[in-house]
Structure 1
Amino acid sequence: MHLTDPKLKSLKPEHKKYRKSDGQGLLIEVLPSGTKRWLFRYVWQGQRCDIGLGTYPAVSLKKARAVRDHYRELLADGIDPRIWREQKDREKFQIQNNRFEQVAEHWYELREPTWAQSTRKKRRALLDNDLIPRLRSRPVTEIETFELAQLLKEIAGRGALESAHNARQVLNQILRFAVQSGLARHNPAAVLQGVLPPKQVEHHAAIVEPAKFGRLLVAIDNYQGSMVIRTMLQVAPLVFQRPVELAKMRWENINWEESLWTIPWQDKKEGKSNKMDHLVPLSRQAIDLLRTIHPYTGHLPYVFRGQRDHQNHANPESLNRALEKLGYKDRINSQKSHTKRPEHSAHGFRASARTLLDETLHERVELIEAQLAHRVRDSLGRAYNRTTHLPERRTMMQKWADYLDELKRVAIKSS
């Protein structure tokens, strides 16, 4: 007997659910809660299957019958209604979620925890200022390589070549993510190599001549600014780690007994790509400097506290600003007579150590590279772990600190 609206309204809940048939596989199921829901029952490859069609009266009897008839037509054509509906749901999801802005924001949300703060700011600015305004509502399936190339050229055309190169990398990552998420079949940004002129490689400025480096060290000792920044500047050449890693040095990571500083993998440049802490042996001179500053910041988390927020660490860029005050900026580099660039930068302590340890102190390259936290492999291609050659590195770091003292003595004597 076919169902009618009066019959449907008269169905009362019982202590167990029950069903009434409208014929040809359409059922109404009444739950103890009073909810009435439509089901379509059919047999597929010998198995009984049920598909929910929604609740009554939100889905009317007329609508339920129309859906049932459509599903019966699919079955007659050899199509399982479940598979058909899953495909439609996927298509609907793609239509609703494959706009560039949505894909880009989802990509950013997933990747952002793995980036350093400076990287987050740069990529956020790139999305907000260049990429999303141009591609906001475009489905990722419709974006073409030629329009991306035009966008990159426009960014480069305003004098922002480095931003254009960064935009190419970000576009490639976002659209590759779209492919991996099933929102697109191909990545139009994957073939943008060569669209832009190459970036000019600008190495971090570094003094590598012993006499000049000695004069720099003396100037640092005489820095008249903040005691915290002066101490950080003095420690920098002794440990030659990246400025951001030095700025994030925590008291809890200093082992006084072993004269060892542990840089947690979370604070390293590689981040999650290399979950291995880095060990930095501390020379007597480095330990002395840390003991000097301990009465001022030892009660705080960071060795080099922030200027305003003492619970935070110092800004790594404060090192470069201090060097600028000492006159190490905008000097003519003798090797590039027509280019003004800093003669020395905070990051340059790494290059200074790399060169002088190798060419003047004749230390083994693998020890230097390991101490720089560069990935070093042995003769069999195996990556050294964090404790490899630690005794030899201790000796090298003390030899390096003593050498810096000698450079300062010579500089003072010759001044």
Structure 2
Amino acid sequence: MAAKTNLLSASKCNNATSEGKAIRKLHDGGGLYLWVYAEGGKFWRLRYRLGGKEKSLSFGSYPQVSLKEARAKRDEQRKVLDADLDPSAERKAANLRKKLAHANSFEAVAMEWYNKQLHTWVPHHASDVKRRLESNIFPTIGKRPIDQIEAPELLQTIRKIEARGAYDLAHRVLQVCGQVFRYGIATGRCTRNLSTDLRGALTPHKKQHQAAVRPEELPELLRAIARYDETGDKQTRLALQLLAQTFVRTNELIGAEWAEFDLNNALWIIPAGRMKMKAEHIVPLSGQALAMLVELKEISGGSRLVFPGRNRDKPISNNTMLFALYRLGYKGKMTGHGFRAVASTILNETGFNPDVIERQLAHCERNEVRGAYNRAEYLSERKRMMQAWADLIDQMAKGENKVTSIKWAAA
């Protein structure tokens, strides 16, 4: 390598001007130059010859790249030249490798998989999946090439979740990672699903079912809800009562919009985009439910939402009804989802066709051999069942503790 004579100093770089030229090139030896522009910008460049042609390579701007750093970059690239390689071509190759590595990182593959699945998920589930990845996985192995991650590395990441006592979440996150690895295999980015290698390595967890009162406890709960106006607000009381009437999922209720209701035909048609199973769902409305909707229409004050929150363009919180149940003394005993469980139990016990009940619960048939889900299947039976259920709830709220009076409707 030819000897270098350093011509620049920090003070010269600081004080350098273009001296009226469009570009003034200050030499520092070994092919390193500081280009000073008339507009005031200063940029480092390395000039070199390869194959009889003069070429140059940028090192960034001054003072962001100091004189010392620029000289170190020059010396590094001179070693590349001594190996008969082109520094510019080597830089392009390195950038390409970096770009490919990023495209094959766990985070990139995961987000590609996530966006492929997005249209099949309801918004809250999509949000949960993304949050679990961003909070628990991406900070540790997100930038790693997916094909270079090893099972112990993934296990160490998952065990950080276990260390917080979140055993159920740890299993859920590992399940999501397994789906990402399977997508990586399908798209040629990796060859192994590491989640299967960790089978049995996590702390076992007991699946927690959402709390629900027993059928014999439902009458007292309904009476407590009817008295909720004494301590809470009318909108929340009606929300709980309508949830009991329709036994839809909590998210489906609080996100309801008035445009979904065909009140003339006593039907609530929940669009596919808001349903867990991504299939439009019909809820027949009893006379009692229609009366509640009349009250809710007045409370909503012109909002497009049936249950607007303080911000009239957003619905009440998921926790609104849960906290109301807490106030009524049912913490750990009942949840919004619990109304589905208790309705299913009672309706099955009273002799209704299980297929009718399942359709009303929107437990969509997943066996494609049996055909696509028909949103109106068993609709006449469902209308009869929903009115009979509403009548039973009325009787319970008024003090009737037995469910035998509904059996006539199931016949």
TM-score, with length taken from structure 2? 0.69
Find the partner of 1:387 among 376, 380, 388.
Answer: 376
Report the equivalent of 1:219: 224
Residues 181/63 of structure 1: CA separation in 2 closer, same or farther (3 Å cut): farther
Report the equivalent of 1:332: none
Q: Residue by residue, what CA displacement relative to the aligned partner does 1:78-132 show, whole Å, maximum 9, x if unpaired?
A: xxxxxxxxxx999775334223343344444554565444434433443333312
Unpaired segments of 5 or more residues in structure 1? 1-58, 65-87, 330-341
Report the equivalent of 1:241: 248
- State how 1:13-412 maps to structure 2 within 5 Å: 94-112=100-118, 114-210=120-216, 212-224=217-229, 225-270=232-277, 274=278, 276-297=279-300, 299-306=302-309, 308-329=310-331, 342-359=332-349, 361-376=350-365, 381-410=370-399
For the 8 Å contact 1:208–1:356, the answer to whether it is kept is no
Secondary structure of 2:165's partner?
coil
Report the Cα distance in structure 2 between the residues aligned to 1:204 and 1:294, rounded to whole angstroms: 30
1:406 shift after superposition? 1.2
Q: Residue by residue, what CA displacement relative to the aligned partner does 1:301-326 show, whole Å, maximum 9, x if unpaired?
A: 111112x2111222222111111111
Report the Cα distance in structure 1 between the residues aligned to 2:237 and 2:212, rounded to whole angstroms: 19
For the 8 Å contact 2:305–2:313, the answer to whether it is kept is yes
For the 8 Å contact 1:375–1:384, the answer to whether it is kept is yes
1:377 shift after superposition? 8.2
Report the Cα distance in structure 2 between the residues aligned to 1:405 and 1:348, rounded to whole angstroms: 18
1:409 shift after superposition? 1.9
Q: RMSD value over aligned CA atoms?
A: 3.2
1:389 shift after superposition? 1.0
Residues 142/204 of structure 1: CA separation in 2 closer, same or farther (3 Å cut): same
1:298 shift after superposition? 5.8
Secondary structure of 2:211's partner?
coil
Report the Cα distance in structure 1 between the residues aligned to 2:53 and 2:114, rounded to whole angstroms: 42
1:192 shift after superposition? 2.8
Report the Cα distance in structure 2 between the residues aligned to 1:283 and 1:147, rounded to whole angstroms: 55
| Aligned pairs, number | 316
Residues 196/63 of structure 1: CA separation in 2 closer, same or farther (3 Å cut): farther
Report the Cα distance in structure 2 between the residues aligned to 1:196 and 1:304, rounded to whole angstroms: 41
Report the equivalent of 1:336: none
Q: Which amino acid aligns with 2:239?
A: M
Report the Cα distance in structure 2 between the residues aligned to 1:350 and 1:202, rounded to whole angstroms: 16
1:175 shift after superposition? 2.5
Q: Which amino acid aligns with 2:218?
A: F
Q: Residue by residue, what CA displacement relative to the aligned partner does 1:289-346 show, whole Å, maximum 9, x if unpaired?
A: 101221222621111112x2111222222111111111111xxxxxxxxxxxx11111
Unpaired segments of 5 or more residues in structure 2? 1-48, 55-93, 402-411
1:253 shift after superposition? 0.8
Q: Residue by residue, what CA displacement relative to the aligned partner does 1:159-195 show, whole Å, maximum 9, x if unpaired?
A: 1111211220221122233333332233333433322
For the 8 Å contact 2:255–2:315, the answer to whether it is kept is yes
Report the Cα distance in structure 1 between the residues aligned to 2:53 and 2:292, rounded to whole angstroms: 80
Report the Cα distance in structure 1 between the residues aligned to 2:379 and 2:301, rounded to whole angstroms: 27
Report the Cα distance in structure 2 between the residues aligned to 1:366 and 1:62, rounded to whole angstroms: 83
Q: Which amino acid aligns with 2:338?
A: G
TM-score, with length taken from structure 1? 0.68
Identical aligned pairs, as a percentage? 34
Q: Which amino acid aligns with 2:360?
A: Q
